[in-house]
Structure 1
Amino acid sequence: MAHKNFRKEDFVKDSSGQYQVEFRKGNIGEGSDLIVERKNEKEEYEILQAEIKRHDDRIFVCWSEPFDGRVLFDEFH
């Protein structure tokens, strides 16, 4: 699987108080098989069940607080 890393600083607080990080659909595909992982204190990744929203050609990963992590996805051509 391919992945895209993101950092705490990439999150933006939305009007509902959640934090979200944005990806372009063209960079990670349609998003049907996305896996969100957060980096823990031991620098290891753990899987989260984060909310994923889609709007136009953008995909948003939402969580209650910013974190360093990555999105795993199937590579596409």
Structure 2
Amino acid sequence: MAHRNFKKEDFVKNQSGEFQLEFQEGNIGEGVDLIVERKNENGEYEVLQAEIKRHNKLIMIRWSEPFDGRILFDE
């Protein structure tokens, strides 16, 4: 699986108070098999069940707080 790393600074607070990260659909595949992982204090990744939504060819990941992590996807 391919992956794309992101930093907590990449998140933007939305109108409902959640933090949101956006990807273009073409940059991370179609979004069928997306896995969101958060990097912990030991530098290891743990899987999250983050809310993932689509809108206008964007894939949005939402969480209650920003975090460093990565998204895994099929190429």
Deviations along 1:33-64, whole A, 9 cap, x unmatched?
00000000000000000000100111011000
**Residue correspondence of structure 1 range 1-77 to structure 2 within 5 A:** 1-75=1-75
Distance in 1 of aligned mates of 2:53 and 2:9:
19
TM-score normalised by the chain length of structure 1: 0.96
Number of positions where the alignment pairs a residue of Structure 1 with one of Structure 2: 75
- In angstroms, what is the RMSD of aligned CA positions? 0.4
Matched residue of 1:53: which SS? Answer: strand
- The code of the aligned residue for 1:64 comes to S
Distance in 2 of aligned mates of 1:48 and 1:9:
18
Matched residue of 2:5: which SS? Answer: strand
Unaligned runs of 5+ in 2: none
Distance in 2 of aligned mates of 1:43 and 1:20:
22
TM-score normalised by the chain length of structure 2: 0.98
- The code of the aligned residue for 2:15 comes to S
Distance in 1 of aligned mates of 2:26 and 2:40:
28
Cα offset, 1:5, TM superposition: 0.5
Unaligned runs of 5+ in 1: none
User: Runs of 4+ in structure 1 displaced over 4 angstroms?
Assistant: none
- The code of the aligned residue for 1:45 comes to Y
